[in-house]
Structures are given as structure tokens and as C-alpha cells.
């Protein structure tokens, strides 16, 4: 195997691993996928190290020949539709590793897929907080206001994401806007409760998946990744709580 060929195979494996991590895959899955792809491509050994923000892989072949590549991860999201497609692609590469160009082209097609239409996303972001508001004892008025705020926060969240703001800043701005809107829209309405409306929208921003994954990583021996994810999820939760509580703490609402 030539050096350029080895670098191309490794680049393909790294690109698949990067996509898995970006779309919400676990660190252990990223390492396992890259390792399996590299072994199926003819490498005698593949050492892969992954955390939530970087992937490092070294492959060996022949005698003492080796190649190392690094990938920086700048953002992640939970897109399980694309994650499933990338997982299928990684399995297909293991079965047919002879054509890395075709695999990279397929990966580009997956990345180019557009998200669901905005109206359907707004409907989901309205139903979820509205349901939680009712679950915690909110009235019909609370449910409608919570759903409206959820839809507006989705638009704000998409705009901040397109502007490439980090997750903490996005969560702070959205939660602060949600808390302010909950208090504004309940002024003069005795049948509405700003606290219950805020609780419904808080549930959308709480990083439950990341927190659960961090505990699992700690239990499975991925200590570094587990601690990083745990710190991120706890910090994000604190930011969300402060954002929604800020209007009350600043005496925004008149009692």
C-alpha cells in the first residue's frame, strides 16, 4: 500500500467518524467505526482516540509504515436520521472498501440533505413545551402561550445557529428570550402562569441526551469524554436555568 493510498483510506474513515460525532453519535461508536473501516481497508493496526471536540487516528501497514490524521469538531447536533444513514455508510465501506471516492461522495450527499420544513419544526417545537406545561398543571391559556413561545424560540435558535454562535451563548439568548416572553404574555392575564410556561420551554433546552451519555461513558471507562460531556451538560443546564429565571430575578414581572 502506497502512502497516498493509505492517507486517502484514513481520510475517508475520519470523515465518517466526524459525521457520526457531529450528528449525535457516541464517542465509542466513532472509535469503533473508524477502527473497523481502517482494518477492512487493509491496515494491520488502527489506534483511534476521540473526545467530543477532536479525533486522532494512527494506522499501520506493511513493516513500519504509519500515517496519522487529526480532525477538529467544532459543533454537534442530534440528527438521528442522518446518523442512521452514516452508520449504514460505514457498514457498506467495511463490506466494499475499494472505492473511497464513492464513499466520500455518498457522505457529501448525506450532509447536503436539508432539514425538515420550518412549519413542521415549528409545530413540534410548539407541541413539546405545550405538553410539558399541561403536564406540570398549566391551563389551556398556559398551553397556548407555551406553544407560541416554543415556535418563536425555534426561529431564534435557527438564526443563532446559522450565525455560528456556540451552544452556551445560543442557550443563554434563547432561554432569556423565553423567560421574557413568558412574563410579557402573562401580564394582565390572571389565568396564565409564567412559571409553568417557562418550565415547559425549559424542557426543550435541557441537555438530557448529553447528560445520559456522559454517565454511560463514565461507567464504560471513557473517563475523559464522560467528564467533558458531564461538565458541558451541567454548565448548559445552569445557563438555561439562569436565562429563564433572569426576568424574575430582575423583578421584570410586576406582582
Residue 214 CA to its chain's centroid (Å)? 13
User: What's the pLDDT at 253?
Assistant: 47
User: What's the pLDDT at 47?
Assistant: 92
* Conformation bin of residue 221: beta by default, left when phi > 0, alpha when psi is -120 to 50: left
Q: Nine-digit cell at 70?
A: 487529526
User: What's the pLDDT at 244?
Assistant: 85
Q: Nine-digit cell at 4?
A: 497516498
Q: What is the pTM of this model?
A: 0.78
54-61 sheet: strands from edge to edge:
45-51, 54-61, 65-72
> How confident is the prediction along the chain (255 residues), in pLDDT tens digits per residue?
788 888 999 999 999 999 999 998 888 889 999 999 999 988 999 999 988 889 999 999 887 888 999 999 888 888 888 999 999 999 988 888 878 888 899 999 988 887 777 788 888 888 999 999 988 888 888 899 999 999 999 888 888 888 888 888 888 898 988 888 888 888 777 767 888 888 888 888 888 888 888 888 888 888 888 898 899 889 988 988 888 888 777 754 444
For 13-54, write each residue's pLDDT tens digit.
Answer: 999 999 999 998 888 889 999 999 999 988 999 999 988 889
User: What's the pLDDT at 69?
Assistant: 93
Domain boundaries in the chain? Answer: 3-112, 118-249
For 178-197, write each residue's pLDDT tens digit.
Answer: 888 888 888 777 767 888 88
Give CA–CA dist 161/144, Å, rounded: 26
User: What's the pLDDT at 5?
Assistant: 87
Angle between helices 194-205 and 140-162 (to 10 degrees): 40
**Which SS3 state, helix, strand or coil, does residue 47 take?**
strand
User: What's the pLDDT at 182?
Assistant: 87
Could you give phi then psi for residue 79, rounded to 5 degrees?
-125, 85
The residues near 12 (Cβ < 8 Å, ≥ 6 apart) are 37, 93, 100, 103, 104
Q: What are residue 65's DSSP bridge partners?
A: 61
R_g over Cα of the chain: 22
CA distances from 87 to 22, 83, 104, 153, 222 (A): 13, 6, 14, 31, 21
Give CA–CA dist 207/61, Å, rounded: 41
User: What's the pLDDT at 254?
Assistant: 47
User: What's the pLDDT at 167?
Assistant: 82
Amino acid at each position: 500500500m502506497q502512502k497516498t493510498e493509505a492517507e486517502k483510506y484514513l481520510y475517508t474513515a475520519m470523515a465518517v467518524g466526524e459525521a457520526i460525532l457531529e450528528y449525535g453519535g457516541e464517542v465509542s461508536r466513532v472509535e469503533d467505526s473508524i477502527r473497523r473501516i481502517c482494518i477492512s481497508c487493509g491496515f494491520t493496526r488502527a489506534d483511534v482516540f476521540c473526545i467530543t471536540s477532536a479525533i486522532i487516528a494512527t494506522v499501520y501497514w506493511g513493516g513500519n509504515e504509519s500515517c496519522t490524521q487529526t480532525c477538529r469538531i467544532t459543533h454537534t447536533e442530534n440528527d438521528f436520521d442522518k446518523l442512521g444513514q452514516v452508520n449504514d455508510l460505514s457498514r457498506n465501506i467495511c463490506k466494499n472498501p475499494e472505492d473511497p471516492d464513492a464513499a466520500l461522495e455518498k457522505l457529501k450527499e448525506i450532509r447536503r440533505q436539508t432539514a425538515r420544513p420550518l412549519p413542521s419544526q415549528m409545530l413540534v417545537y410548539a407541541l413539546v413545551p405545550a405538553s410539558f406545561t399541561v403536564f406540570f398543571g398549566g391551563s389551556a391559556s398556559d398551553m397556548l402561550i407555551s406553544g407560541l413561545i416554543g415556535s418563536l424560540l425555534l426561529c431564534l435558535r435557527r438564526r443563532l445557529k446559522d450565525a455560528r454562535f456556540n451552544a452556551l451563548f445560543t442557550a443563554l439568548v434563547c432561554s432569556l428570550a423565553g423567560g421574557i416572553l413568558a412574563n410579557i404574555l402573562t401580564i394582565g392575564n390572571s389565568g396564565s402562569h409564567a412559571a409553568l410556561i417557562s418550565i415547559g420551554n425549559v424542557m426543550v433546552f435541557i441537555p438530557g441526551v448529553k447528560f445520559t451519555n456522559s454517565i454511560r461513558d463514565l461507567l464504560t471507562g471513557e473517563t475523559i469524554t464522560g467528564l467533558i460531556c458531564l461538565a458541558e451538560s451541567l454548565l448548559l443546564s445552569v445557563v438555561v436555568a439562569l436565562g429563564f429565571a433572569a426576568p424574575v430575578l430582575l423583578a421584570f414581572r410586576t406582582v
